[in-house]
Structure 1
Amino acid sequence: MAIRESIDKFFNNHSETKDKHWDKQLQTRYFKTTKDRAFKIVEAYFKSKPGCEIIAISDEHGEISCNLKLRKKVFITATIIMVKPFRTAVDFSVTTESVLPFDLGYSHKLIPKLYADLKKEMTLVD
């Protein structure tokens, strides 16, 4: 990890996952399931989460947007895409809402927690 990336990690209020992310924790996770099943699991997860309010659901685009109020208020967009039969990608985009322009790594730390919770419901593909 370069110094610039370390600084960006803490002095930023937005984090998102992608296939080739410099941080292994923020790389896209693939699950052994269909898009519809993964979509229902992610939707049910957010509905069951205390302090979570689902803002928008787009089944045709595979996106779920919600506001989550834990220690801080965060806006989360989950994108679910089936890339192959029984290989579905789940990506997150997390933005922390605060008076400061940075969140000291809060959004960066939240994404691995979301993946860990989803891993309990779906089988992870290596």
Structure 2
Amino acid sequence: MSIKYTIQKIFGKQMETKEDHVDEKLRTHYYKSTKDKVMKEIESMLNQKQGYTVKSISEDHGEIIVNINKGKRAFMVITVIMVKPFRTAVDISVSTESLLFTDFGYSRKTIYYLYEEMNKRMTFVGTSLGEKLIQN
């Protein structure tokens, strides 16, 4: 892992996933489903979790805005994009509200936990498939 990521991991209050993230667990996750079904499943999952409040859902933009009030307070944006039929990408961004300079890995662990839950509820295809989709 890079030095920049290690410093961000230790001293950061915000973490997000992306296609080519250094941490393999924080790479974009792909599911075998449509955008609408994935959004509904994520919404259902979050509504069942104590301390998670879905603030807004924009189906046009594929975004779910969530406040986390359990443990540390945090703000989360989940982005859902259908890249081709029955191949949907999910990215997550978590920002922790804290007076300290760090959240002690809370945002990163929250993303790990949510991806694990999504993988149990939906058909997981893989991570970082964006480049492979463009080539096909």
Indicate the TM-score class for this superposition, using the shorter chain for normalisation. over 0.9
Q: CA RMSD in A?
A: 1.0
Runs of 4+ in 1 over 2 A off after TM superposition: none
- SS in structure 2 at match of 1:15: strand
2:78 counterpart letter in structure 1: A
Deviations, residues 59-103 of structure 1 (Å, cap 9, x unaligned): 110101011122211111111100011100011000011111321
In structure 2, what is the Cα distance between the partners aligned to 1:4 and 1:59? 34
In structure 2, what is the Cα distance between the partners aligned to 1:11 and 1:104? 7
Please state how far the C-alpha of 1:54 moved relative to its aligned partner: 1.4
- SS in structure 1 at match of 2:74: strand
Match in the other structure for 2:116: 116
In structure 2, what is the Cα distance between the partners aligned to 1:14 and 1:107? 6
- SS in structure 1 at match of 2:121: coil
Match in the other structure for 2:103: 103
1:46 partnered with 2:46: yes
Superposed, 1:1-126 pairs within 5 Å as 1-126=1-126
Match in the other structure for 2:131: none
Structure 1 spans left out of the alignment, 5+ residues:
none
TM-score relative to the length of structure 2: 0.89
1:114 counterpart letter in structure 2: L
Name the stretch that deviates more: 59-68 or 101-110.
101-110
- Count of residues in correspondence between the two structures: 126
Structure 2 spans left out of the alignment, 5+ residues:
127-136
More helix by share: 2
